[in-house]
A and B are shown apart, each in its own frame.
Chain A
Amino acid sequence: MQSRKDQLLGLALVSPSILAVLIFVYGFIAWSGRVSLSQWKGLMPDYTWAGLQNYIGLFTDPRFRIDIRNTVVFTVLFVGGCLVLGLTLAILLDQGLRGEGFFRSLYLFPMAISFIVTGVVWRWLMNPAQGSRISGLNLIFDQLGLDFLINKWHTTPEWGIAFIAIPAIWQMSGYTMALYLGGLRAIPESLREAARVDGASEFAMYRRIILPLLSPITLSAMIILGHISLKVFDLIVAVAGKQIPLDVPAIYMWTTTFDGNFYGRGASIGILLLLSVAVLVIPYLRYTLKNEAEL
């Protein structure tokens, strides 16, 4: 048992931080919620009640429809790409090859770099110019005779957003690999041995035993990557600036609020983003915390 003095001291130490989180996270969310229900347009705050008008407006707004569609396309490709690549690399690295540590560090380093740097470099790698002004990856494809790969990248009509997934996968697939590698290392060798003794091929062993055992990792990775994907913002801005064909909710929120002064609408996009992240993250946190409590 702690002394009373220690308890008071403990309380004094943590309460400012907890208070700060309560105010700056939860209080500010409530405040945003209130703004989203207001008519606030322009520089001066205006809390005149507007009901759900901002939300209704968004769902009939063609730009917001593009945003949702872009988010879905981007999420499917980005999460799918990271999972496939991450798992493949993890399995390859788990074979006990020489140089494993080197490859692992190499695949993971993009995590240390900002999305802005990644975006600026990929903007030039994905240069859409063709013909005599061809450059970037298109130039390599041209010189290697892989002309069928030459394309307009993020400036492709309608599907430009799909190409934004490439730098995003470049940045986050190493992280996914590290998650999977951790999972693979936790599987006892005896299990694999048992499968081999029973005559299972390597492939069958991975499909029937290893993959199912990795499914909690897949779930975590999907949730972590999925919530990053819902928030994607700086990468797109750095690759392409603010363009409607590549618009996503986070960019719409930014431009409509701080360029257009439509605060009410901006706040409602923020709240919708929060809800979509919450739907993904809260069940996951409950599950993780429950498991931790049982340990």
Chain B
Amino acid sequence: MTAIQSRKRYFFYIPLVLMAIFYLIPIYIMLVTGFKSFAEVDLQTMWRLPQGIHFDNFVEAFTKLAPHLWNSIKLVIPAAIISSILGSLNGFVLARWKFPGADVIFPVLLFGMFIPYQSILIPLVQFMREINLYGGVWGLVLTHVIYGIPITTLTFRNYYATVPKELIESAKIDGASMMRTYFYILLPLSLPSFVVVLIWQFTSAWNDFLFAVVLTSPENWPITVALNNMAGSQIIAWNVQMAGSFIAAVPTLLVYIFLGRYFLRGLMSGALKG
């Protein structure tokens, strides 16, 4: 507790509430616009509350975006699951086993998290063309899995490094092999890390635009590319764009609302990815 008198502390709420309004403005405008009827929609009255609840905008946006939402789901689920399994196995081996060269691998992985993907984009496209995955969702899954290896591995590795050595040693004395130790001791312990990494990969794959726009053909566009395309077109009204934006934001927002604790931990542990 600080020494500032309690009456004075009420003034702290003024900037806090003002900032809360700033952060909520975009959500407000998405929802308010989304629930208006087509007749009510007008840029000049965009801040007004809707008269009654209508779903015109959401229905219109959803019909336009549904195939792309489906593409995003097809992309995000395998990408998150494969990434987590790989990350867990890698993290386990790197945390428990000091093999020659382990000190080099760590920074090499770490730097891989930070690179601007523009510096690998041309070879990536050539490579995907070569193996016939260019244009489709699976090429994008593979991309997210590979470029997710550094962050997933490091998150798990940092977690496994905190597991007491005695636990592993005693398992070894009992004659458990490395894989038994992993499956029976470390894996159950690391369920929270799985949630962290799953959420992290889910969010970054769902929100990705750069890889998607370069690697997929229009029918396989995930939601971000489709939404951006919608926003750039002159034909689709701004109110439908707002509703579409909200639809695109809902999955990751839900994850944040219900699993925020884990989301935050991912943010802080990997501290560091943009």
Q: Would you call the interface of chain B mostly helix, strand, loop, or mixed?
A: helix
Cβ of B189 within 8 Å of any chain A Cβ, yes or no, is no
A147 to B159, CA, bound (A): 54
Q: Is the CB of A113 within 8 A of B249?
A: yes
* Interface residue ranges of B85-108 to A (CB < 8 Å): 86, 89-90, 92-94, 96-97, 99, 105-108
* Extra pairs beyond A45-B126, A113-B207 (19, CB < 8 Å): A6-B177, A7-B97, A21-B109, A28-B119, A31-B123, A32-B120, A105-B260, A124-B238, A127-B43, A133-B44, A135-B43, A170-B22, A202-B3, A231-B116, A250-B116, A254-B118, A257-B121, A270-B120, A270-B122
Identify the interface centre among A110, A117, A282: most chain B CB within 10 Å of its CB. A117
Q: Given A24-B120, A254-B214, A273-B116, do A117 and B249 touch, yes or no (CB 8 Å)? A: yes
Per a CB cutoff under 8 Å, which of A134, A258, A281 touches B44?
A134
Which single residue of chain B is at the shortest CB-CB distance from A103? B16
Cβ of B209 within 8 Å of any chain A Cβ, yes or no, is yes
Identify the interface centre among A105, A109, A271: most chain B CB within 10 Å of its CB. A109
Question: Cβ of A269: which chain B residues have Cβ within 8 Å of it?
Answer: 118
* Interface residue ranges of A207-237 to B (CB < 8 Å): 220, 224, 227-228, 230-231, 233-234, 237
A234 to B25, CA, bound (A): 21
Which single residue of chain A is at the shortest CB-CB distance from B105? A18
Q: Is the CB of B105 within 8 A of A289?
A: no
Q: Given A21-B146, A133-B44, A220-B271, do A271 and B29 touch, yes or no (CB 8 Å)? A: no
Q: Is the CB of A32 within 8 A of B93?
A: no
Q: Is the CB of A21 within 8 A of B44?
A: no
Q: Is the CB of B89 within 8 A of A277?
A: no
Question: Cβ of B107: which chain A residues have Cβ within 8 Å of it?
Answer: 285-286, 289
Contact indicator per residue, chain B 208-236, by CB within 8 Å of chain A (1) or not (0): 11100110000000001001100110000
Question: How many chain B residues touch A (Cβ–Cβ < 8 Å)?
Answer: 93
Cβ of B70 within 8 Å of any chain A Cβ, yes or no, is no
Smallest CB-CB A-B distances: 9 pairs: A114-B207, A112-B256, A228-B274, A28-B120, A135-B43, A274-B119, A6-B178, A234-B209, A270-B118
Q: Is the CB of B121 within 8 A of A117?
A: no
Question: Cβ of A180: which chain B residues have Cβ within 8 Å of it?
Answer: none
Chain A positions near chain B (C-beta within 8 angstroms): 2-3, 5-7, 9-11, 13-14, 17-18, 20-22, 24-29, 31-32, 35, 45, 85, 88-89, 92-93, 95-97, 103, 105-125, 127, 129, 133-136, 139-140, 170, 174-175, 178-179, 182, 192, 196, 202, 220, 224, 227-228, 230-231, 233-234, 237-238, 241, 249-250, 253-254, 257-258, 263, 266-267, 269-271, 273-274, 277-278, 281-282, 285-286, 289
Q: Is the CB of B121 within 8 A of A253?
A: yes
Which single residue of chain B is at the shortest CB-CB distance from A266? B122
Q: Is the CB of B114 within 8 A of A227?
A: yes
A25 to B124, CA, bound (A): 10
Q: How far apart are B110's CB and chain A's nearest CB, in angstroms? A: 6
Contact indicator per residue, chain B 122-139, by CB within 8 Å of chain A (1) or not (0): 111011000000000000
Q: Is the CB of B4 within 8 A of A202?
A: yes
Q: Would you call the interface of chain A mostly helix, strand, loop, or mixed?
A: helix
A250 to B94, CA, bound (A): 34
Q: Is the CB of B228 within 8 A of A237?
A: yes
Q: List 25 A-B contacts (CB under 8 A).
A: A2-B97, A13-B89, A13-B90, A20-B146, A21-B108, A28-B119, A31-B122, A95-B4, A95-B12, A106-B20, A108-B260, A113-B207, A121-B29, A127-B43, A179-B268, A230-B116, A234-B210, A250-B118, A253-B121, A254-B210, A254-B213, A257-B122, A274-B116, A277-B114, A289-B107
Q: Is the CB of A32 within 8 A of B123?
A: yes
Question: Cβ of A231: which chain B residues have Cβ within 8 Å of it?
Answer: 116-118, 274
Q: How far apart are A230's CB and chain B's nearest CB, in angstroms? A: 7
Cβ of B167 within 8 Å of any chain A Cβ, yes or no, is no
Which single residue of chain B is at the shortest CB-CB distance from A223? B272
Per a CB cutoff under 8 Å, which of A28, A116, A263 touches B124?
A28
Per a CB cutoff under 8 Å, which of B12, B118, B206 touches A273?
B118
Cβ of B153 within 8 Å of any chain A Cβ, yes or no, is yes
Q: How far apart are B63's CB and chain A's nearest CB, in angstroms? A: 18
Q: Is the CB of A117 within 8 A of B115?
A: no
Question: Cβ of A117: which chain B residues have Cβ within 8 Å of it?
Answer: 224, 227, 245, 248-249
Cβ of B173 within 8 Å of any chain A Cβ, yes or no, is no
Cβ of B141 within 8 Å of any chain A Cβ, yes or no, is no
Q: How far apart are B58's CB and chain A's nearest CB, in angstroms? A: 15
Per a CB cutoff under 8 Å, which of A29, A224, A263 touches B115?
A29
Q: Is the CB of B123 within 8 A of A120?
A: no
Cβ of B165 within 8 Å of any chain A Cβ, yes or no, is no
Q: Is the CB of B15 within 8 A of A88?
A: yes
* Interface residue ranges of B242-265 to A (CB < 8 Å): 242, 244-245, 248-249, 252-253, 255-257, 260, 263-264
